[in-house]
Chains A and B, each alone.
Chain A
């Protein structure tokens, strides 16, 4: 499809295990973002990539969280030693990295990965 895709759709894991979440942005989008949405809450910014570099990692909640992006395409968010408070929906978004036809930096979101840590 033409939109942002994420995998897996759902992930259930045990406390202490590591998880990897994947994001495939829209082709040609140089900017990629990860957000977290806890139940009943708004979205919290985690990290921003421009190309393969991450100029803003300010939202990563702890050193258990890391992310990388390769080939200016796919990104992986890794959570090590998961805790119950990591349970949330993890949303990825991408944007052109420049003005789109509407003249603004519109972020397009994927369907999210629902993570449940038991």
Chain B
């Protein structure tokens, strides 16, 4: 079974509008972390935002916010006031298990969503 599912292969958004990129995850571990990364055409992976499974509030980082719905196992990324420079691939990723005492901190990635911001 897919651990991380991103159902939107591609999306368009108008400049200055908000966009939501979907991510659902599957884990039986009560302790986990959720990450979003941006990958522009140049190829580098840029960390955007993090949500821990025990965090009470939704994470926010500037124009990025994470809509964390634990019961539904979803962690959607919301980008407000889209800019042309936001055009890129966006990956949702999960770390299973606690940060400490776990055997690994590896990330499991989804297949990504290609976002195109139109002027």
Query: Which residues of A are at the interface with B, using a C-beta cutoff of 8 A?
Result: 31, 33, 35, 41-45, 48, 55-56, 58-59, 89, 91, 93, 95, 99, 102-112, 114
Q: A104-B52, A105-B99 are in contact. Are A45 and B43 (CB under 8 A)?
A: no
Please name all residues of chain A whose beta carbon is closer than 8 Å to the beta carbon of B99 when the two chains form the complex: 99, 104-105
B45 on the A face (CB < 8 A) = yes
- Contact status A105-B91, CB under 8 Å: no
Query: Which residues of B are at the interface with A, using a C-beta cutoff of 8 A?
Result: 4, 33, 35, 37, 42-47, 50, 52, 91, 93, 95, 99, 103-112
Nearest CB of A to B60, in Å: 12
Nearest CB of A to B21, in Å: 14
Q: A91-B45, A99-B99 are in contact. Are A105 and B112 (CB under 8 A)?
A: no
